[in-house]
Amino acid sequence: MPTPKAPAGLKTATRAPTGRSRLPDHLYAYLFIVPVLLFILLLVVYPIYYSVNISLYDINITFGSWKFVGLAQYAKAVLDPAVHHALLITAVYTVFVTVFSMAIGVGGALLLNEKFPGRGLLLGIVILPWSLSTYATAVIWRFLYSAEVGMFNALLRDLGLTHQAIDFLSARTALLAAAVAHSWQLAPLGMYFMLATLGVVPDDLYKLAKLDKLGAWGRFWHVTFPYLKLPFLIQMVLVTGEAARTFDLIFFLTGGGPGNATRGLSQEIYVETFQNLNLGYGAAQSWILVLFILVITTAYFFLLFGRKRRESKGQLEGGRA
């Protein structure tokens, strides 16, 4: 049975150079890292620069004309009701996905931290949704939600609970339905992250907590959660980023519809850029999305660690020793 090992920290490795070497360590390091940085500069920073640049222009593909408009595209986006709607959809969707997948992730990690027969097998199984792509997830869940061949409607009907097929992807429920599907796929990684640090919570702490008459919630909050903070934050940043910029999942599951019920910012950007060919406007919108993700991520960081970031990091590492 695979048992999660405590992540090995700094302490196991001694990095002091001992042998003879032609090059000092730091030169070796730069020698190996500079190519990676150059690569990233070329393939990440340059496209970002290009994208910021086109967001300052009004581009007409047909005539090949570039008209510099400054921040006009951004001003247009800020006032555009379609963008307001898309931003609202993205925000609600992000909240749904984050809450669902963090709840499933923490719950699954706590469960898998218990001893029970079949635990090893379950540990191997729970990762499966994570290994599937978002588009495959969307196709799978479309077959679950479908009115004609969907599993949910089939079971509900056979159990005599419904007489008419429920449209899970209707305007009122489609966003929620998409969020459930996305959480199914995103949660397993969090389980694994958190399980790794749960393994190092000293059992004595639980005994002490019981002596202090802490209830189950008290034990979780005061004993377990301090150890979970770091993987929890990392998973939350990942999940929020994935949810906020989700494209494939909505594209396959609802295509942004019905109407514009699931048309988030990514869908809006896609339509502006590739269907309406408003390249500059699409680019401006995508930087609004980047800003949106950055604001949330920073907020998490302060919420979870705040000024105590240093202490809690020290505590985590103390827990591993």
Partner 1 sequence: MRTTGKRPVTMLLAAILAVWTLMPIYWILNMSFMHNRELIAVPTHVYPHQPTLSNYVRLFGGTAAGPTGEKLLPIGQGPQIRQGLVNSLVVAAWTSLATLLIALPAAYCFGRLDFRGKTPLLFAIIASRSYPPLAVMIPFYAFFQAVGLHGTRTGLVIINLTATVPTVVWIMSGYFGSLPATLERAARIDGLTRLQAFTRVILPLARPGVVAGALLSFLMSWNEFAFAWVLTAGSKAVTFPPALSTMFFQISWPAEMAAASVIGLLPAALLGYLFQKRMQTLNIVDPL
Of 248, 200, 218, 242, give the one whose Cα is nearest residue 102.
242
Using CA of residue 266, residue 38, residue 295, residue 189, what is the dihedral sign?
positive
Considering only residues 57 through 96, tell me which ones interact with partner 1, judged by CB under 8 A: none
Stretch that binds partner 1, among 76-84, 139-147, 171-179, 298-306 (CB under 8 A): 139-147
Task: List the x/- string, 279-298, binding to partner 1 by CB under 8 A.
Answer: x--xx--xx-xx--xx--x-
Which is nearer to partner 1, 78 or 294 (by Cβ)? Answer: 294
The minimum distance between CB 143 and partner 1, in angstroms, equals 6
Decide: is 174 part of the binding site for partner 1 (CB under 8 A). no
Considering only residues 41 through 60, tell me which ones interact with partner 1, judged by CB under 8 A: 43-48, 50-51, 54
Type of residue at 273: T
Q: Among 168, 175, 186, 245, indicate the residue that binds partner 1 (CB under 8 A).
A: 245
Q: Among 8, 79, 211, 321, indicate the residue that binds partner 1 (CB under 8 A).
A: 8
Considering only residues 224 through 243, tell me which ones interact with partner 1, judged by CB under 8 A: 230-231, 234, 241
Which is nearer to partner 1, 130 or 300 (by Cβ)? Answer: 130
The minimum distance between CB 220 and partner 1, in angstroms, equals 12
* Neighbour-count burial for 194-233, b at 16+ CB within 10 Å, e otherwise: bbebbeebeeebeeebeeeebeeeebeeebbebbbbbbbb
Task: List the x/- string, 195-224, binding to partner 1 by CB under 8 A.
Answer: -xx-x---x--x------------------
3-state SS string over 186-245?
HHHHHHHHHHHHHCCCCHHHHHHHHHCCCCHHHHHHHHHHHHHHHHHHHHHHHHHHHHHC
Where does residue 118 fall: left (phi above 0), alpha (psi -120 to 50 degrees), or beta otherwise?
Answer: left
The minimum distance between CB 313 and partner 1, in angstroms, equals 9
Which is nearer to partner 1, 88 or 120 (by Cβ)? Answer: 120
CB within 8 A of 73, min separation 6: which ones?
Answer: 55, 56, 58, 280, 281, 283, 284
